[in-house]
Structure 1
């Protein structure tokens, strides 16, 4: 029983860590490419910023869905009887 709970906690930690790592790297790359695009063509600043915000909102929504799944695993663990 304790091994199942420790494995679940370890999996939750890995999921959170990798999710935030991926989101952080992705947002960093997105920001650098947006700055590069605005630097090349300043007239398209509003379009670039609008596209960046859409991607940032989608990433945030996906992280919130991940949190819901993690809390589901944390409190209603299907592996424990």
Structure 2
């Protein structure tokens, strides 16, 4: 099933991380950031784009700017976990 969003909606949506335009990836059911160096992929669930950085798939290990974390809430390499270990 392809992502079926109103073209007018796609014209106004932007990546919440870097504010670049989003492109549809019908095969993965995602909206993908077109910004240089970002590339976060946001899921579309039941026809609704989930534009939360914490929910985004991070295909390139992009740093979100949060200490010890990359996009989608995954710990950065070498970062301590929540227990402080």
User: Do the two structures share a fold, i.e. TM-score over 0.5?
Assistant: no
> With structure 2 as the length reference, what TM-score do the two structures score?
0.24
> With structure 1 as the length reference, what TM-score do the two structures score?
0.24
- Greater C-alpha radius of gyration: 1
Which protein, 1 or 2, shows the higher relative CO under an 8 Å CA cutoff with sep ≥ 6?
Answer: 1
- Structure with more of its chain in strand, by fraction: 2
